[in-house]
Amino acid sequence: MTAAVIARDKIAPARGQGVWAASWRRLRADRVGMGAMVVVVVSLLVVLATGLGLVGAHWQDEVAVPNAPPGFMGPAPAEAVGAIAEPKGPNVDLTDIDPLAPKYKEWAERAKQYKTVEHPKEETRIFGADRLGRDVLQKALKGAEVSIMVGLLAALVATLIGTVLGALSGFYGGKVGDLLEWIYNVFTAMPDILLIFAFAAVFGRGVLPVVLILALTGWTGIYRQIRAEFIKHSVREYVRSAEAIGASKASRMFKHILPNVSHVALVQLSMHVVGFIKYEVILSYLGLGVRVDQVSWGTMLSESQAELILGYWWQLVAVTAMMAVFVTAFSLFTDALRDALDPKLRGLE
Amino acid sequence: MAAYVIRRLWQMIPTLLGVVLLVFFLFKYFGSDPAVVLAGQNASADQIEAIREQLGLNEPTYVQLGIFLKQIATFNWGNSWATHEAISHLFATRLPATLTVMLPIIVLQTVLAVPFAMLVAYMRGSLVDRSVMVGATLMVSISLLVYVIVFQYVFAFRLGWFPVQGWSNSFWTNLTTYSVLPIIVQVVVALAPYTRLYRTFFLDEIGHDYVRTARAKGLSEQVVMFKHVLRNALIPIMTNISASLPGILVGSFLLEVFFSIPGLGREILLAVNRNDYPVIQAFAIYIAVLTMLINLATDILYKLVDPRVVLK
């Protein structure tokens, strides 16, 4: 017995690199991917900070004059703001004909009892201000929180649905598989956007409904991939061996096969984040997204359309730039992740 | 072939039934009460009850489902709650506008993206290839909304080259005046991702042995690229286009909203905003049927183009 153990130790080869360690090594070698990852991580930290109220919590404060331009442009000229020039010369004395004249003094006395604080409105902000004088930078950060959160949550839920259903369908096949295939066919029988509209009609507005709408429409692609993987893996030797030593079906599905296909789910997850963020922006623009007291990139874009005609371009540029940076970084990161986790696909794009 | 078509049509029935059930139960259990929506804000309880009775909402679920199925089978959806227009009429009048915009878009983006992708794939690894790929990634990252807003502002509002929005009764005016800018926006936006995708198809083909053989026997590069590579790469490209075909039915909803084009997408959006349930339900089912038929047609077309495909 002891001899056997020793013998096994001797012949056992040094443990090879795990799939995750190998992927991490490949990812680290990808300079573009690592750069993108840094941008993504920084963005997610900003989202976390706004979520905790450290940044952008006062986005609703009207801190500047309406449509205050960005700092580098200097304050808007007076005529552009629509200010009326102060009249010159002395005021005309109306005391004789003004019926309210005797009361002015009394009112002034009474008004003194109340303390009023004047907040001076700023002429410029770094990224300018919107039509209510709210700071565009703070709004864009708060909007980033909502848009990115919706994208991440929806992708998570969609991946969860797709993975569980795909696992069941691929592993069991037969009746269960047929039923799930039928559901898949029903959900893909019409264009995505139509399904989104139908769900939007019944679920209402807000962050959670949007997450649900996107997840319930977006799980089908993930289901398809995971199902194919489970069909492939369920007849492999390691799964057969597990069955032979009495591993239950659930154990085989989730303990044995799932870790071996989880990289597919991870890649799918990150591929869907970008798509969902874009959908959230469109839904919010159309008024089917977040509630009116919330801000997202989509609601900002819908405001910016009217502003652009009046020549106030800064909200549009701020949102577009922020979104472009995040989405580009996330897409590049996803590409790098896919290459790292699934080296067979490398070099195709 | 006939047997195949019949079998495919037969297989559509359970899927269609699923779509009907999904739409029915979605609106029944998650939507707000139709009677309350219809009665308006100042309705009394009696009025709401009367509408419930009239719509058959007090009947058991299976009777309601039966009414729903009967409506579908007879194409008699009744009228829109909001405009009282017959729904079949609504569908028939909105579809042409959508197609006027979407068909030129599909044709143009394919005609432009295929040669462009071939060129980029041919110059793989060069500076042009790299910069096109980086540019494509950047372009895709900007929301379609931004393109529409900026294009509409610059080319229609500022420069006045196109009408800002509108639609007429004449097909020709619509095609040559009102849908030009929407078509340009969509084609410009779609060019980048399609070039990226088709490039991978071309690269895949260029890597095959038959290309090396063709070059080895001394064929010119034009012949190799156009006669050998292009023909083979067209197959995955066609698959891709046919997969995107059902999207033409509502795919232009954003353009329709921005440019006031009376199409299907805009109509559904209006219906969603007005809680106009019959319109949404009817459109969902009609479009599902059309989608399945388009898919069947493309599968058959596929067989005609590529003899290797076996229909089963």
pLDDT along chain B (312 residues), means of 10: 84 88 83 74 78 76 81 77 80 86 89 89 82 82 86 85 81 80 88 87 85 87 84 83 80 84 86 82 85 84 73 60
- In the prediction, which pLDDT does A215 show? 93
- In the prediction, which pLDDT does A154 show? 94
- In the prediction, which pLDDT does A347 show? 44
Nearest CA in chain B to A304: B149
How many other CB atoms are there within 10 angstroms of residue A120's CB atom?
8
- Classify the C-alpha dihedral B281-B285-B291-B295 as positive or negative: positive
Confidence of residue A349 (pLDDT cuts 50, 70, 90): very low
CA angle B55-B58-B59, nearest 5°? 95
Q: Is the pLDDT of residue A319 over 60?
A: yes
Residue with token string 């959908």: A279
pLDDT above 90 covers a percentage of chain A that reads 11
Helix ranges (H only) for chain A are 2-11, 19-29, 31-51, 78-81, 104-112, 136-172, 174-187, 192-203, 207-234, 237-244, 249-250, 258-285, 297-309, 314-341
This model of the complex carries an ipTM of 0.82
Chain B interface disruption, residue of A32, A190, A285, most B CBs within 10 A:
A190
The string of pLDDT tens digits covering residues A206-243 is: 888 899 999 999 999 899 889 988 888 888 888 889 88
Counted across chains A and B, CB pairs separated by less than 8 A come out at 125
Tell me if B106 sits within 8 A of B251, measured CB to CB.
no
A-chain residues near B24 (CB < 8 A): none
Chain B interface disruption, residue of A32, A39, A181, A186, most B CBs within 10 A:
A186
pLDDT above 70 covers a percentage of chain A that reads 90
Q: Is the pLDDT of residue A2 over 70?
A: no
Q: How far is B272 from chain A (nearest CA, A)?
A: 5
B-chain residues near A308 (CB < 8 A): 149-150, 153
Q: Is the pLDDT of residue A172 over 60?
A: yes
Q: Is the pLDDT of residue A308 over 60?
A: yes
A-chain residues near B130 (CB < 8 A): none
Nearest CA in chain B to A198: B280
Q: Is the pLDDT of residue A176 over 70?
A: yes
Q: Is the pLDDT of residue A93 over 80?
A: no
A22 touches chain B (CB under 8 A): no
- In the prediction, which pLDDT does A251 show? 87
The stretch A128-150 carries a mean pLDDT of 85
- What is the pTM for the complete model shown? 0.83
Q: Is the pLDDT of residue A13 over 70?
A: no
Nearest CA in chain A to B276: A201
Q: How far apart are the two ends of chain A, measured CA to CA in Å?
A: 54
Q: Residue A92, exposed/middle/buried by CB under 10 A (0-12, 13-18, 19+)? A: exposed
Tell me if A59 sits within 8 A of A142, measured CB to CB.
yes
